Amino acid sequence: MATSKLVVIAAFSKTDEGELVPAFEPRLVDTEERAIREARLMASHYAGVLAWSRDADPALGDYGPPSILFQAGEIPEIE
């Protein structure tokens, strides 16, 4: 099976105590360009927004390192 690419957008809000929490479940999108475009649009609405991608072969459980496509505001560290 060929390796595919996971492209994900995540956004974060802050609690009243200032803790970063996911604003919604990470969203898979079809292209890196779309992820960047959508993340830019969301950036003014959340404490932090991140669009990233990684090569993946889910059948084998192999995942490459994440590559950040767009980042704005505060985000937690990603694995």
- Give how many domains the chain has, as a whole number: 1
Tokens, residue 31? 């292209």
> Is residue 78 situated within a structural domain?
no
> Is residue 77 situated within a structural domain?
no
Say how many residues make up the chain: 79
The tens digit of pLDDT for each residue in 8-57 reads 999 999 999 999 999 999 999 999 999 999 999 999 999 999 999 998 87
Tell me which residue has tokens 């994900």: 8
Domain residues for 64?
Answer: 4-72
How far apart, in whole angstroms, are the C-alpha atoms of residue 46 and residue 30? 22
Q: What is the pTM (predicted TM-score) of this model? A: 0.83
The letter for the amino acid at 25 is E
> Is residue 50 situated within a structural domain?
yes
> Is residue 79 situated within a structural domain?
no
Tell me which residue has tokens 């669009």: 51
